Amino acid sequence: MTECDLNDVQALDARAREILLLNDRGGYTVPTDGLYPYQWNWDSMVAAWGFAAFDLDRAWQEVERLFSGQWPNGMVPHILFHRPDPGYFPGPDVWGTAGRGPLPSSGITQPPVAASFVRRLWEKDRGRPEAEALFEPLLAWHRWFMEWRCEGGAIFVTHPWEAGRDNAPDWDGAMAAIEPAGVQPYTRRDTAHVDASMRPTRADYDRYIWLVERGRRLGWDEAAMAEGAPFRVADPGMTFILMGACRDLAALGRGLGRDVAEIGEWIGTLERGAESLWNPAIGAYDGRDLGTGAFAGALTNASYLCWLGGVDDERMLAKFDGMLGRVPYPVASLDPADPRFDARRYWRGPTWAIMNALIGLGLAEMGHAAQAQALRRRTAQLIAEHAFAEYFDPLTGAPAGGGTFTWTAAVWLAWASPRARGA
Interaction site with ligand DGY (CB under 6 A): 78, 161, 166, 190
Backbone angles phi, psi at 57, to 5 degrees: -60, -45
From CA 309, how far away is CA 271, in angstroms rounded? 8
- DSSP secondary-structure letter at 185? P
Instruction: Say how far residue 47 (Cα) sits from the centre of its chain.
Output: 12
Comparison of 309 and 401: residue with beta carbon closer to ligand DGY: 401
343-371 as b/e, with b when 16 or more CB fall inside 10 Å?
Answer: bbbbbbbbbbbbbbbbbbbbbbbbebeeb
Whether 390 sits among the annotated catalytic residues: the reply is yes
Catalytic-role residue among 166, 204, 342, 393: 166
Closest CA to 61 of 51, 70, 76, 75: 51
Comparison of 166 and 172: residue with beta carbon closer to ligand DGY: 166
Instruction: For the CB of residue 166, give the shortest distance to ligand DGY in the complex, in Å.
Output: 5
- DSSP secondary-structure letter at 231? -
Comparison of 16 and 211: residue with beta carbon closer to ligand DGY: 211
Comparison of 130 and 166: residue with beta carbon closer to ligand DGY: 166
Instruction: For the CB of residue 293, give the shortest distance to ligand DGY in the complex, in Å.
Output: 27
Residues 371, 408, 270: CA angle, nearest 5 degrees: 60
Comparison of 145 and 161: residue with beta carbon closer to ligand DGY: 161
Closest CA to 288 of 270, 276, 304: 276
Contact of 168 with 300, CB cutoff 8 Å: yes
H, E, C per residue of 298-320: CCEHHHHHCCCCCCCCHHHHHHH
Instruction: For the CB of residue 310, give the shortest distance to ligand DGY in the complex, in Å.
Output: 27
Dihedral angle of Cα 252, 416, 284, 160, to the nearest 10 degrees: 80
Residues annotated as part of the active site: 166, 390
